Amino acid sequence: MLQLLVVDDHPILRDAVVASLQCQYPQSVLTQADSLHACLQHLQAGLDPDLILFDLNLGDHQGVSGLQIVRQQVPDTPILIISAEQDKQVILNCLSAGAAGFVLKSQPSQALMEAVDLVLAGKIYFPDLSQCSNSSADQTLWSKDQLQQLTNKQLQVLSLIAEGCANKEICLRLCIAETTVKTHVSDILRKLGVKNRTQAALALDKDLLQELLVH
């Protein structure tokens, strides 16, 4: 039976998330926590959720460090961030810190359910970054010139990375060997000058990517 832990310090928002999850997964067992402390108490008491839905800014803890604390407690449990933060760098920091996805509270409930489905399937989810703000430290979206450094096959691989696909799924969908996928990923990171696939995907303008793939 699916076990879900919802962590949010705003009762109305938490209840809305729980209600949506109950409709989508009627057989699931839902546990609620209104603070980081309460979340950790549940986990330390033996709760083993299949997914944690986690508000980034709680009453007793603010920011990415709360995610890192939970990740240390349950390193193998996927964590989906639900936050009002719309800064791209915050989203990047969360995914780099081990979050499996990031949903904006301004998005519709349908987006949340899509994110939950993807994360439970072992993929990642993040919002359209064109709708998010830039911080002074933030990287901008890849330009057309930058993406044109990539071959068409590398663009296809990057598109699937942005969908949250792991290497095994990419090789199946593109009908190429997994070792070839790994080579393409390494070349993509080198050409774009980033350290990991999350950074590459987060700075991707999906409309521009589709334009380049078509042409």
Among 145, 152, 154, CA closest to 197: 154
In this predicted structure, what is the pLDDT of residue 93? 83
Residues 102 and 203 in one domain: no
Its domain, for residue 199, covers: 144-214
Q: Longest C-alpha distance within the chain, in Å? A: 55
Q: What is the mean pLDDT of the chain?
A: 87
Whose CA is closest to 87, among 129, 132, 56, 55? 132
pLDDT digits (tens, 9 = 90+) for 20-68: 999 999 999 999 999 999 999 999 999 999 999 999 999 888 889 999 9
CATH value at residue 43: 3.40.50.2300
Domain count, the chain: 2
Which pLDDT does position 137 carry in this prediction? Answer: 42
Residues 52 and 126 in one domain: yes
Tens digits of residue pLDDT in 16-30: 999 999 999 999 999
- pTM of the model as a whole: 0.73
CATH code at 192?
A: 1.10.10.10
Cα–Cα dist 108/96, whole Å: 25
| Tokens, residue 5 | 């832990």
Comparing CA positions, the residue from 65, 46, 150 lying closest to residue 54 is 65
